[in-house]
Amino acid sequence: MAKNSLVYVCENCGTEFLKWQGKCSNCGNWNSLVEYKPATIKASGGKAQAATPIEFSEIKIDDAHRFGSGFGEIDRVLGGGIVAGSVILIGGEPGIGKSTLLMQVAGKIDQVLYVSGEESASQLKLRANRLGTKNTGQLLVETDVNVVAATIEKVKPKLVIIDSIQAMFDESYPSTAGSLVQVRETALKLQRLAKSILVPIVLVGHVTKEGTVAGPKTLEHLVDVVLYLEGERYHENRILRTVKNRYGATDEIGIFQIVEKGLVEVKNPSQFFLKERLAVPGSAVTATIEGTRPLLVEIQALTTTTVFGYPRRTASGFDLNRLQLLIAVLIKRAGLQLASQDVYINVIGGVKLREPACDLAVAVAIASAFKNYKIKDNYCLFGELGLSGEIRPALAFEKRAKEAGRLGFNKVAENKIINKVLAEVLEK
């Protein structure tokens, strides 16, 4: 590109063009290209000066490189606490509770700079009073990322919270706040600042149910940790899930409950998910592993005679293709006439079951609902179901069985064939 030449940048997707055109050929938006003059490229006077590398063995880690967030569930998800100089992205749907959780974190840590680009100071004060947080650090209501960066360098807080990254903008780039260009460039400037002065920065990013808003997906490669706060808006439980973590495991979850005073940690998740369980046909209990934590969750199944030519299969919290496979095994190996039945599966509490160790509980729940037989008391079901109808043992068997026994589910299926398991655990 020639020096000082003009380019045209799409406000929506950030694609650059050498000539103006009415429609962006990348995203298809009309009249979204704006004129942009890039910075002058300075010609090098010769070869670049070589840098001095650091011996890996000489690198020392300060004992205080991590500090707690004040919430054990958040520290668990982060791998032990907040790392100095890290950039953490918390994504989720609007209204799911991201700002509420971070306001509570700000109330538990000294020297926090809370940067708000969406709410006024009085609105934040009202929220803090409602949550009962006493020490929320310093507040900055600003959307210019250059002003924010200068303030961070001056104040040097222990933690910075940016709520939200979609509200930040840089006048150097020709697009509105919240566009892909602004989100990417402002986050990159904050990331460089965090690494240079070793101040951790938390970015809040909003996404819709379709995930179409420019934000978290664009930033995942820039940040060190990506967390998503999940849950149904009208349900009381929230799950903080790790998607990316350079400083810890990526399969841990934190579980919270929404109350009048904000979000509180769930100390005993298994008991929380089973507290309203009824022993009725179609209800099974399984033990799943989330990171290092075993969780007991309830799986509910319902079967009804289909009124159309093709039966429906619906799953909430469980893979639909896996459900189709399990139904086929039950038809072929267990002799259940499910070809004319609609089958519905629901995992209670908003937990998403991803491991095959939950196959047995789903299959037994379907058989229980179809036969209208209850599952015997004290049974916790886990194991992978093969196409031949065999039950394969689950990983971390002892850990699952211990957690199940702690809540009174001290029996597991001993048979290794699905039709024999059904005969063992179902009662009329």
| Contacts of 206 by beta carbon, 8 Å cutoff, 6+ apart | 91, 92, 93, 94, 164, 166, 213, 215
Q: Would you state the pLDDT for residue 217?
A: 66
Cβ-proximal residues to 251 (8 Å cutoff; 6+ apart), any chain: 242, 290, 291
Region of residue 325 (phi > 0: left; psi between -120 and 50: alpha; otherwise: beta): alpha
Tokens for 278, please give them.
Answer: 């009824």
From the list 109, 112, 110, the residue with the least C-alpha distance to 75 is 109
pLDDT of residue 41: 46
Torsion angle, CA of 122/125/130/134, rounded to 10 degrees?
A: -170
State the Cα–Cα distance between residues 142 and 156, nearest whole angstrom.
17
Cα atoms in the 13 Å half-sphere on the side-chain side of 404: 25
Instruction: List C-alpha distances in Å: 133 to 96, 312, 322.
Output: 19, 48, 45
Using alpha carbons, select from 416, 369, 366, 377 the residue that is nearest to residue 394.
416
116, 118, 121, 124: CA torsion to nearest 10: -90
The DSSP code sequence of 371-415 is HT-EEPTTB----EEPTTSBEEPPTTHHHHHHHHHHTT--B----
pLDDT of 1: 45
**Confidence at residue 179, expressed as pLDDT on a 0 to 100 scale:** 75
Crossing angle of helices 320-333 and 418-425, rounded to 10°? 90
pLDDT (tens digit, 0 to 9) for every residue of the chain, 428 residues total?
A: 445 568 888 877 777 888 889 998 888 888 888 777 665 445 555 577 888 898 888 877 765 588 999 999 999 999 899 999 999 999 888 888 999 999 999 999 989 999 999 899 999 999 999 898 877 789 999 999 999 999 999 999 999 999 989 899 988 877 777 777 788 889 999 999 999 999 999 999 877 555 544 456 678 888 999 999 988 777 788 989 888 999 888 888 899 999 888 999 998 999 988 988 998 999 999 999 987 889 999 999 999 999 888 999 999 999 999 999 999 999 999 999 999 999 999 999 878 898 999 999 999 999 999 999 999 999 999 999 999 999 999 999 999 999 999 999 999 988 889 999 999 999 97
What is the C-alpha end-to-end distance of the chain, expressed in Å?
Answer: 78
User: How many beta carbons lie within 10 A of that of residue 325, not counting itself?
Assistant: 15
- Residue 228, both tokens: 């998503």
pLDDT at 73: 93
Q: What is the pLDDT of residue 260?
A: 87
The set of residues, in sequence order, having a beta carbon less than 8 Å from that of 61 and lying 6+ positions away, is none
Q: Distances in Å between the alpha carbon of 268 and those of 60, 83, 241, 271, 362?
A: 38, 27, 17, 6, 23
Q: Look at residue 213 in the predicted model and tell me its pLDDT.
A: 45
- Are the beta carbons of 85 and 159 closer than 8 angstroms? no
Written in H, E and C, the secondary structure of 185-239 is: HHHHHHHHHHHHHCCCEEEEEECCCCCCCCCHHHHCCCCCEEEEEECCCCCCEEE
The whole-model pTM stands at 0.80
Determine the Cα–Cα distance for residues 199 and 157; give it in Å rounded to an integer. Answer: 7
Query: What is the DSSP track for 306-326?
Result: -SSSS--EEEESB-HHHHHHH
* pLDDT (0 to 100) of residue 212: 44
